[in-house]
């Protein structure tokens, strides 16, 4: 079964310096029908103005993934990490027993476009940790590249949950398949372009909850980019 989550039905807030779309309930956006999907708790699509950002704030017991689409984001945290996250990077921060961090767009003229993804950890009270890896566009071209997994296999970042995240960049007309093990579900988020997911058309910003299927077929109706979450 496929349940489509249209882009225009997401929560949207314009804070001036931040324009943000919420796939699931988040902060002041509450939708009882869209609280989470399995362990996938948050997909926020953020546009952060030049010279602005998220001040230092706390988290705990959450796997937080930052996926930058355009621009660069400067990260600092209470673990002593400081980095610049750019397109192609996947940053994973496990908040565990507690961490504070900030994210800032240091550019003078360029908006940062990013996805912030939260995954519920399998266990609470973990030791906070941090990881960031770069995946070149050619590695994702016309295939699904594993970028996050519970065991860090194939060079992916490690998340403390039985969840895997794949990234793909598809040329128009390209078709890919992904098999789901028994009892597993998936969520597809279209970053840009247009896809047919098991025959259902999705456009940029759309998502699809997929349950009870053995195979997911992704057919690009235009040059496209997507994330696929394989969930317990």
CATH number at residue 188: 2.60.120.10
Residue 2 lies in a domain: no
Question: Residue 138's CB: how many other CB atoms inside 10 A?
Answer: 9
- Record the tokens describing residue 48, joined without a space: 């952060």
15 and 130 part of one domain? yes
Separation between Cα atoms, residue 65 and residue 154, nearest integer Å: 18
Residue 162 is predicted with a pLDDT of: 97
Residue 117 is predicted with a pLDDT of: 98
Residue 52 lies in a domain: yes
Residue 131 is predicted with a pLDDT of: 96
Reported as a single tens digit per residue, the pLDDT across 103-160 is: 889 888 999 999 999 999 999 999 999 999 999 999 999 999 999 999 999 999 999 9
Given a contact cutoff of 8 angstroms between Cβ atoms, the answer to whether 100 and 64 are in contact is no
- Record the tokens describing residue 211, joined without a space: 């349950």
What domain range includes position 31?
10-134
Residue 81 is predicted with a pLDDT of: 85
Domain boundary at 78, 106, 134, which? 134
65 and 170 part of one domain? no
Domain boundary at 86, 110, 134, which? 134
- Record the tokens describing residue 40, joined without a space: 């996938």
Residue 191 lies in a domain: yes
| Total domain count, the chain | 2
Residue 5 lies in a domain: no
3-state SS assignment for residue 140: helix
Residue 101 is predicted with a pLDDT of: 85
Contacts of residue 181, Cβ cutoff 8 Å, sequence gap at least 6: none
36 and 129 part of one domain? yes
116 and 181 part of one domain? no
Residue 94 is predicted with a pLDDT of: 95
76 and 104 part of one domain? yes
16 and 129 part of one domain? yes
34 and 120 part of one domain? yes
124 and 21 part of one domain? yes
149 and 124 part of one domain? no
Residue 54 is predicted with a pLDDT of: 87
Domain boundary at 83, 115, 134, which? 134
- Residue by residue, pLDDT tens for the chain (232 residues) are 999 999 999 999 999 999 999 999 999 999 999 999 999 999 999 999 999 988 888 899 999 999 999 999 999 888 888 889 999 999 999 999 999 988 889 888 999 999 999 999 999 999 999 999 999 999 999 999 999 999 999 999 999 999 999 999 999 999 999 999 999 999 999 999 999 999 999 999 999 999 999 999 999 999 999 999 999 9
Residue 195 lies in a domain: yes
Residue 41 lies in a domain: yes
Contacts of 145-148 with CB under 8 Å at 24 or more apart are: 147/90, 148/65, 148/90, 148/92
Contacts of residue 49, Cβ cutoff 8 Å, sequence gap at least 6: 16, 17, 18, 105, 111
């Amino acid at each position: 079964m496929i349940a489509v989550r249209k882009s225009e039905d997401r929560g949207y807030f314009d804070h001036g310096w931040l324009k943000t779309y919420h796939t699931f309930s988040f902060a002041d956006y509450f939708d009882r029908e869209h609280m989470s999907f399995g362990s996938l708790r948050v997909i926020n699509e953020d546009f952060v103005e030049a010279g602005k950002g998220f001040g230092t704030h706390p988290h705990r017991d959450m796997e937080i993934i930052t996926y930058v689409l355009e621009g660069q984001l400067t990260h600092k945290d209470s673990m002593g990490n400081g980095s610049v996250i750019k397109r192609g990077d996947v940053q994973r921060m496990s908040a565990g027993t507690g961490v504070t961090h900030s994210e800032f767009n240091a550019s003078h003229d360029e908006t940062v476009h990013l996805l912030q993804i939260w995954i519920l950890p399998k266990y609470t009270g973990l030791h906070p940790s941090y990881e960031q890896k770069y995946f070149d566009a050619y590695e994702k071209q016309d295939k699904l590249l594993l970028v996050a997994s519970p065991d860090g296999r194939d060079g992916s970042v490690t998340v403390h949950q039985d969840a895997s995240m794949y990234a793909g960049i598809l040329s128009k007309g390209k078709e890919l398949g992904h098999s789901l093990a028994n009892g597993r579900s998936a969520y597809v988020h279209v970053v840009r372009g247009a896809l047919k997911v098991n025959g259902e058309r999705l456009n940029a910003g759309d998502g699809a909850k997929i349950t009870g299927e053995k195979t997911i077929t992704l057919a690009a109706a235009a040059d496209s980019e997507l994330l696929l979450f394989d969930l317990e």
